[in-house]
């Protein structure tokens, strides 16, 4: 996947062939697409370039953990060090991290996953370098310098300017590939103009609660970087943000499309595709199996009514209505915090409303809501309300 451009005609043609094949096999029924990670960018690119064809074949599109605005921390270090896609997966690779870096530097999709410099980041991705400089007395001074997305490109270009790889005894120059970078920027511009066709429903699921690399720092105060070419062998350190461990929440949520729903799930980038909460959400959206009218996928809980009583009667010229309603909120997550919650007091809220106007019936109402402490993943709610109308 890394070796291809998202919008290469060959990729678009192969994707179209798949759509036509599935559409035909299903007897002409529209398709529900489910994509993961870079697959979501491929789908978005096809949709943007071939909107009419996309609308013809697709009923709904659900994307999971897609880096719509890039994966800043990982991609920066992938180009400079190649270690990001090896860390934690060493046993699955038969090449060194340096060989991985030499492969990634010529991979079009890696450039297309660079953080978008035109996106309004809440947390701006930075490249930070401890630089060492000698003053007039030959004393080494250190300074932490920070570079924005546009400022870091000249530094990466310089760091990779002498990058070489040896193949069959021949040395090949492998600098930062500016032609691929230009193509990636054009792709990003195309993706920014994408719109969901009116008949297609779009859903976005993204991972949360994982430390996700965002800013990258090289060198230390005591071991600064004196030559940018040292970055290729330096060990990066990260400043993390919330995400799935690879893609920041901020990037995954920023699809730029009109979505039916966007839901965050506490899962990592690879694990999210087999997470039980995600399957439950997909089942609800796809209306697969028995319907669950009380399930709320936005918060992943079930609300079950356990009691409902309404009583009306007249008393001394007044019409009185009373309501009693009980709900059980069931959350799939149970942990130690549930036990601690049982020690807390129940929460009570109340509201009263009255209406008095000339030539209009006098009406008043009041309601109380009692929320009991959570226990074993369940929270009990009691609603009590009464209304009185005079002169109706």
Q: Which of 69, 91, 71 is nearest to 79 (CA)?
A: 71
Average pLDDT over residues 100-122: 87
**Does residue 21 carry a pLDDT above 80?**
yes
Highest-pLDDT range among 154-163, 329-338, 352-361: 154-163
**Does residue 293 carry a pLDDT above 80?**
no
For 74: left if phi > 0, alpha if psi spans -120 to 50, otherwise beta; the answer is: alpha
Structure tokens at 359: 């030539």
Structure tokens at 84: 């990001």
Structure tokens at 86: 């090896």
From 255, 269, 284, 300, active-site residue: 269
355 — pLDDT class (breaks 50, 70, 90): low
The answer to whether position 150 is within a domain reads: no
Judge contact between 13 and 50, C-beta under 8 A: no
**Does residue 97 carry a pLDDT above 50?**
yes
Q: Give the pLDDT of residue 306.
A: 72
- Residues 53, 184, single domain; the answer is yes
Residue 160 gets which letter from DSSP? T
Boundary residue ending a domain (228, 252, 286): 286
244 included as an active-site residue? yes
Q: Give the pLDDT of residue 155.
A: 96
Question: What residues make up the domain containing 81?
Answer: 9-117+175-209+241-286
Q: Give the pLDDT of residue 168.
A: 81
Average pLDDT over residues 75-82: 88
The predicted-structure confidence for 169-196, as pLDDT tens digits, reads as follows: 888 898 999 999 999 999 999 999 999 9
The answer to whether position 245 is within a domain reads: yes
Boundary residue ending a domain (228, 255, 286): 286
- Residues 307, 281, single domain; the answer is no
Reading across the β-sheet that carries 127-134, which strands appear in turn?
Answer: 140-147, 127-134, 210-218, 237-243
Structure tokens at 250: 């901020």
- Residues 343, 277, single domain; the answer is no
Judge contact between 302 and 244, C-beta under 8 A: no
- Residues 102, 203, single domain; the answer is yes
Q: Give the pLDDT of residue 369.
A: 84
The answer to whether position 358 is within a domain reads: yes
- Residues 72, 113, single domain; the answer is yes
d(CA 36, CA 204): 10
- Three-state DSSP class for residue 336: helix
84 — pLDDT class (breaks 50, 70, 90): low
From 37, 109, 116, 251, active-site residue: 37
Question: What's this model's pTM, rounded to 2 decimal places?
Answer: 0.75
**Number of domains, the chain:** 2
- Residues 251, 382, single domain; the answer is no
Judge contact between 42 and 18, C-beta under 8 A: no
Structure tokens at 12: 């678009």
Instruction: Phi first, then psi: give them for residue 115, nearest 5 degrees.
Output: -60, 135
The predicted-structure confidence for 259-280, as pLDDT tens digits, reads as follows: 999 999 989 999 999 998 898 8
- Residues 339, 269, single domain; the answer is no
From 244, 255, 268, 300, active-site residue: 244
Kindly give, in sequence order, each residue whose CB lies less than 8 Å from that of residue 18, ignoring residues fewer than 6 positions away: none
d(CA 181, CA 78): 15
- Residues 359, 260, single domain; the answer is no
- Residues 200, 322, single domain; the answer is no
Report the CATH number that the domain containing residue 69 is assigned in CATH: 3.40.50
269 included as an active-site residue? yes
The answer to whether position 154 is within a domain reads: no
Q: Give the pLDDT of residue 105.
A: 86
The predicted-structure confidence for 313-337, as pLDDT tens digits, reads as follows: 888 778 888 888 887 776 654 443 4
- Residues 203, 345, single domain; the answer is no
- Residues 185, 328, single domain; the answer is no
The answer to whether position 1 is within a domain reads: no
The answer to whether position 255 is within a domain reads: yes
Q: At what angle do helices 72-80 and 149-159 cross, to 10 degrees?
A: 20
Boundary residue ending a domain (286, 314, 344): 286
Please report, in angstroms and rounded to a whole number, the separation of the first and last CA atoms in the chain.
Answer: 71
Q: Give the pLDDT of residue 392.
A: 56
Judge contact between 244 and 267, C-beta under 8 A: yes
Structure tokens at 22: 């599935």
Q: Give the pLDDT of residue 179.
A: 93
Kindly give, in sequence order, each residue whose CB lies less than 8 Å from that of residue 121, ignoring residues fewer than 6 positions away: 69, 115, 250
The answer to whether position 230 is within a domain reads: no
Q: Give the pLDDT of residue 342.
A: 41
- Residues 385, 272, single domain; the answer is no
The answer to whether position 63 is within a domain reads: yes
Judge contact between 156 and 129, C-beta under 8 A: no
């Amino acid at each position: 996947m890394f070796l291809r451009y998202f919008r290469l005609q060959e990729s678009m043609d192969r994707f179209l062939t798949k759509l036509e094949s599935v559409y035909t096999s299903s007897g002409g029924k529209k398709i529900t697409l489910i994509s993961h990670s870079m697959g979501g960018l491929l789908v978005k690119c096809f949709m943007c370039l071939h909107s009419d064809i996309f609308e013809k074949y697709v009923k709904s599109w659900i994307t999971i953990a897609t880096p719509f605005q890039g994966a800043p921390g990982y991609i920066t270090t992938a180009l400079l060090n190649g270690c990001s896609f090896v860390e934690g997966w060493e046993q699955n690779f038969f090449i060194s991290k340096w060989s991985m870096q030499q492969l990634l530097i010529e991979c079009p999709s890696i450039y297309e996953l660079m953080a978008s410099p035109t996106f309004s980041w809440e947390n701006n991705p930075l490249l930070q370098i401890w630089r060492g400089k000698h003053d007039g007395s030959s004393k080494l001074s250190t300074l932490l310098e920070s570079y924005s997305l546009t400022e870091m490109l000249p530094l990466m270009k310089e760091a990779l300017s002498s990058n070489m790889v040896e193949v069959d005894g021949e040395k090949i120059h492998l600098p930062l590939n500016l032609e691929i970078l230009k193509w990636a920027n054009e792709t990003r511009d195309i993706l920014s103009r994408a719109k969901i066709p009116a008949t297609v429903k779009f859903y976005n699921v993204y991972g949360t609660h994982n430390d996700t690399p965002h800013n990258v720092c090289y060198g230390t105060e005591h071991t600064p970087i004196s030559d940018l070419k040292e970055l290729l062998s330096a060990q990066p350190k990260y400043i993390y943000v919330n995400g799935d461990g690879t893609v920041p929440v901020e990037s995954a949520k920023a699809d730029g499309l009109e979505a039916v729903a966007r839901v965050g799930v506490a899962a990592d980038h690879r694990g999210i595709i087999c997470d039980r909460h995600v399957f439950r959400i997909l089942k609800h959206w796809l209306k697969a199996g028995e319907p669950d009218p009380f399930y709320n996928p936005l918060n992943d809980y079930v609300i079950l009514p356990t009691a409902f009583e309404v009583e009306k009667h007249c008393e001394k010229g007044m019409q009185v209505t009373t309501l009693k309603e009980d709900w059980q909120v069931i959350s799939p997550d149970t942990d130690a915090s549930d036990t601690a919650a049982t020690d807390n007091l129940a929460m009570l809220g109340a509201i009263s409303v009255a209406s008095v106007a000339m030539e209009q019936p006098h009406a008043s109402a009041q309601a109380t809501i009692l929320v009991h402490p959570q226990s074993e993943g369940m929270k009990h709610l009691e609603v009590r309300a009464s209304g009185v109308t005079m002169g109706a």
